[in-house]
Structure formats: structure tokens, C-alpha cells
Structure 1
Amino acid sequence: MKHTVAMIQLDIKYGDPKSNFTHASTQIEKAAIAGADIVLLPELWTTGYDLTRLDEIADNHARKSIAFLQEQARKHNVSLVGGSVAEKYEDGVRNTLLVIDEKGELVHKYSKLHLFQLMDEHIYLEEGEDDAEFELAGVKSTGFICYDIRFPEWMRKSALQGAKVMYVVAEWPNPRIDHWKTLLQARAIENQCYVVACNRSGADPKNEFGGMSLIVDPWGEIIAEGSRREEIVVGEIDFALVDEVRKRIPVFRDRREGRY
């Protein structure tokens, strides 16, 4: 089974959901024209890291964001790993990843478990309690948000449950972009699966972001890589390769669970 995946490296407008919805609509259409059947958006693409204003600009129960993504999915016949959005609840705001299938059905929501203190997430956001696994386009999948990739045990959990692809959405800053690339390749190799990772481009008042969205195959080979500017990065993933790699090097069979 093969899929064409597009990662949209949005240059997000800081604290301006209206502009970001309009821009995302244009970019999703371009991704569909490029032949993608699965499209990714980056982390917090509606608001950026305007954390101090989240009470004002966060999306109540993500209703507007979900409706927008559903409309886009149906219009363009694509599945959407719709990045993450600031989702407002009665008890606070969460950083929530949204997954919509090509029929416009909400497949999954996952709120970020690991909050990044260097960017004050722990002050303005509530950590999630959701599982990361879901099925999309007939394939067992999982989704993570930015800082999550520094926690290999969290990602291994999904691989042990059969995930063949790990989708990652991020606002990864430029100063640590080398970590981004290395960590994603490591997560692909150790879990013997595809990693499809969409990072934003551009800057906000406090940070410059690195772009360099990646598709990494189960051998750790990079098969598509973005630049640092806004662009759409497209690549093909072949899930037969996951089965082949796991058969050739039976990491999961050879684990010694009783020792670690």
C-alpha cells in the first residue's frame, strides 16, 4: 500500500487565526493538486505561540478548526493530519492534534502530553491524557506533537501496538534543528516505521523556526526533506517496506521485556 504525503510548512501569522485559516486553505488546495492523499499541517497553526492570549484566541473545543478541516478534506478528497490547535476547555487550553479522513470524519484527537517548559507551555497549557494511536487510510498510525519526539518510550508504545507510520507536527526552533533531524531518524530506525514530520517555517516575536520537514523511511533514510522557507514538501510512502524491515531485523521479537 502506497500513499503520497504532503507536509505544509506554513509561515504562521502570530496570534491571527483568521489569516491562518485563509492561508491554510490555499496551501491544502495546492497540496491536493500536487497529488497528495494525506496532508499535514504544523503545530499550533491557527495561533502560533501567542500563548499569553490563548484565552482570547483559542478555539472552543476545537469546533471551528474541526469544521474547517472536515470541509477541506471533503472538498479535496484528502486525509488531514491537521496539525495541532489551541483547544479551549472549561478548565484550560490544550495543544490538540486533529486527524480527519478523506470523507471528512473526525478520526482522532490527541492533546500534547509533554509540555515544553523552555517555551512556557507548562504555564499556559494543560497536558493531554489521550492515546496517540489511530487508523488512517487503512493503516495503523500514530501522531505526536513536537517535544514528544524526545521521549522514545512514548513513541515505542505506539510501535508495539502496530503503528506503521508516526506523524509528527511541530514548531521546532531553528537553534535546535539538528536535533530535530537526528531524533526523527532515530525514532524511525528504532521503531522500524515511517516518520512523517511537518515543521513550521518563519518566525514569531521570540523564536525563529527551522522548517526542514522530513519523511524518513524504516531504514532511517530521508526520502523527502524541506528547506527552511515556507513550502509544501511531498513524498511517497510504501507500507510494504515496514513489513520487510521488521522481518529482516526482528527487533520487536528479540526484545527482552522482563529486563527493562
Structure 2
Amino acid sequence: MYLIGGIKMKWRVAIVQMDVTYGDPVKNREKIHSLLADQNFGDVDVIVLPELWSTGYDLASLPELCQKHQNGDIAFLQELALSYHSMVVGGSIAFEENGHYYNQMLVIDRDGSIQKEYRKIHLFRLMNEEKYLSEGETNGQFTLEGVPCSGFICYDIRFPEWIRTHVLNGSKVLFTVAEWPLARVDHWRTLLISRAIENQCYVIASNRVGSDPKNEFGGHSLVIDPWGQVLREGDTYLEEVLIKEIDLDEVEAIRQRIAVFDDRRPEMYTSWLD
């Protein structure tokens, strides 16, 4: 174990890239168990799941699905953390509160406690999210064992100002979960590599594979280092668990190499608009 100031500086990350059975949380929980059980990967520090891993984009059925399965989905993520003694960036699930439905990320500590709830703030009109879901109103920042991180959901990565806001608040690892379509998977790769380079952060990204009644999805889950190098990449079609160790010291090393944040001139970025 590599520790500095009590903080573990190397993490082994496991990204679950899976097909999602439309509108069937029970089958999707079984799938995750099966994919992880098939791996002989030893200890991992963080398990990352894709967006809406429980239901897929069966948005019209959210009232029934949330009523029956929302609590079970949360309990499943907590069980996953306890079973593997791992932190879990639980992709996202459909979540109901006060009659509103959200696309919500849950981050779970190793002891099963909920560390963060982040609700997707940018709703994607091409997949009719705005017709069924409400926008989130909070940030995606959280801390895992002393390491400042942030979580984003799919369409969020097209808004660099949103991600930069989190990095300016200290984030070193950017977790992204998605159901990104195959037709635009080149955008997925390019945007995530750009977010890593411009923010000098690790990007850990889980995307689903397979299809639903309206879309085909593109896989290519990614681990990208703060220099923009792709360290691991998933297949276009294959269900798999990608394992990669990341060295968190690399974030500060890259930031010292090119001091982007020291050279910012934020006073210039909006003054000419006045």
C-alpha cells in the first residue's frame, strides 16, 4: 500500500462495461454480480458502473420502477461495497423524490455508507430526458479516502465549464458514467480525453454496450491519465470489467510540468463582455 499523509496514492479501479436489460433491475443486478464474480482481479479500491444500469432508458415506466426497485437498487450498491470492501461510484439510477424523477449518481464508501448523491443537471433532449426527469441542482464533488473527486453523468461532459468548476475546487479524479450512443462514440472519446488534458486530472469513465428499443450504445469505457494518455479502453460491443491501477501522484506531477492553473487569468474571461 502506497500512502502519503495517510492517503492511499495508488488505486486499483474496476470499470463495469455491460449491456443493460431494458426496465429490469433484477436482471441487471444479477448481471453485475456475474461480471464481477467472473473476474480474478483481487482487491480493488473503486468499482464504477454505467449510467442507469438498473433500468436503462425505460423512462416512461419510472413511476412503477422507482416504487418497486429504488430502495433495492440503493441496497444493492451498498452490498457491492461491503462485499468487495471497495468504494463504489454507482453509475446512476432512476430516483424519485416528492413526485419528481432524477437521474442520480450514488457514491458509496467501503463501509456501505452513502458518500454522495449527484443528480444529472444537463438533461439530454435527444433521448427525451426532459420529458420525464427533473434537473439536478447540486454539484458533483465528493471525497474518497482523502482524495477530492467529482462525478458526472453522460451529457455533462459536453459542458467544460461545469467540469472546470469542480477542478478549481480541488478535484483530481473525474468519474463519468454514461449510456453514450455508438453513433457518437468518437465524441465520447474526444471529449473525455480533452477533459483530462485541460483539467490535468484522471478520467475514469464507464459506458454501456448493447442496445435498447431506440438506441445502440458504444462502449469504449476509458481510463485516461492527466496527460491525456488512454491507459485502458473497453471494446465497442463486449461486456467486460476493465481493471487499472492509477497513481494519484501523477496529477500534481503533470500540474507542475505545465502550470495551467497558475497561468489562468480569470479576470479576462468575462470582462470584455461587460
TM-score between the two structures when normalised by the length of structure 1: 0.96
Deviation at 1:204, TM superposition (A): 0.5
Q: Is the 8 A contact 1:59 1:85 kept in 2?
A: no
Cα 1:32–1:100 change in 2 (3 A) is farther
1:237 counterpart = 2:241:
no
CA distance in structure 2 between the aligned counterparts of 1:129 and 1:28, rounded to whole angstroms: 33
Equivalent in 38, 43, 49 of residue 46 of structure 2: 38
Equivalent in 90, 95, 107 of residue 98 of structure 2: 90
Shift >6 Å, 4+ stretches: none
Name the structure 2 match of 1:23: 31
Name the structure 1 match of 2:264: 255
Q: SS at 2:51's partner residue? A: coil
CA distance in structure 2 between the aligned counterparts of 1:201 and 1:137, rounded to whole angstroms: 30
CA distance in structure 2 between the aligned counterparts of 1:131 and 1:166, rounded to whole angstroms: 13
Q: Is the 8 A contact 2:55 2:94 kept in 1?
A: yes
Q: SS at 1:259's partner residue? A: helix
Deviation at 1:59, TM superposition (A): 5.5
Name the structure 2 match of 1:58: 66
1:104 counterpart = 2:112:
yes
Deviation at 1:33, TM superposition (A): 3.7
Cα 1:4–1:151 change in 2 (3 A) is same
Q: Which structure 1 residue ranges, 5 or more long, are not aligned?
A: none
One-letter amino acid of the counterpart of residue 261, structure 2: F
Q: Is the 8 A contact 1:61 1:87 kept in 2?
A: no
CA distance in structure 2 between the aligned counterparts of 1:150 and 1:115, rounded to whole angstroms: 11
TM-score between the two structures when normalised by the length of structure 2: 0.91
CA distance in structure 2 between the aligned counterparts of 1:32 and 1:165, rounded to whole angstroms: 25
Q: Is the 8 A contact 2:174 2:202 kept in 1?
A: yes
CA distance in structure 2 between the aligned counterparts of 1:116 and 1:250, rounded to whole angstroms: 34
Equivalent in 115, 137, 141 of residue 149 of structure 2: 141
Equivalent in 12, 16, 30 of residue 8 of structure 1: 16
Q: Which structure 2 residue ranges, 5 or more long, are not aligned?
A: 1-8, 270-274
User: Matched residues, percent identical?
Assistant: 51
Deviation at 1:29, TM superposition (A): 3.8
Q: How many residues of Structure 1 are paired with residues of Structure 2 in the alignment?
A: 260
Name the structure 1 match of 2:6: none
Q: Is the 8 A contact 1:47 1:58 kept in 2?
A: no
CA distance in structure 1 between the aligned counterparts of 2:172 and 2:66, rounded to whole angstroms: 32
Cα 1:78–1:84 change in 2 (3 A) is same
RMSD: 1.4
CA offsets 1:87-117 (integer angstroms, 9 cap, x no match)? 0122321000010011111100000000000
1:47 counterpart = 2:55:
yes
Cα 1:11–1:189 change in 2 (3 A) is same
CA distance in structure 1 between the aligned counterparts of 2:194 and 2:68, rounded to whole angstroms: 36
CA distance in structure 2 between the aligned counterparts of 1:61 and 1:46, rounded to whole angstroms: 9
Name the structure 1 match of 2:184: 176
Deviates more, 1:153-162 or 1:71-80: 71-80
Q: Is the 8 A contact 2:25 2:73 kept in 1?
A: no
CA offsets 1:181-232 (integer angstroms, 9 cap, x no match)? 0000000000000000000011111100000000000000000000021111
Q: SS at 2:82's partner residue? A: helix
Name the structure 1 match of 2:88: 80
1:204 counterpart = 2:212:
yes
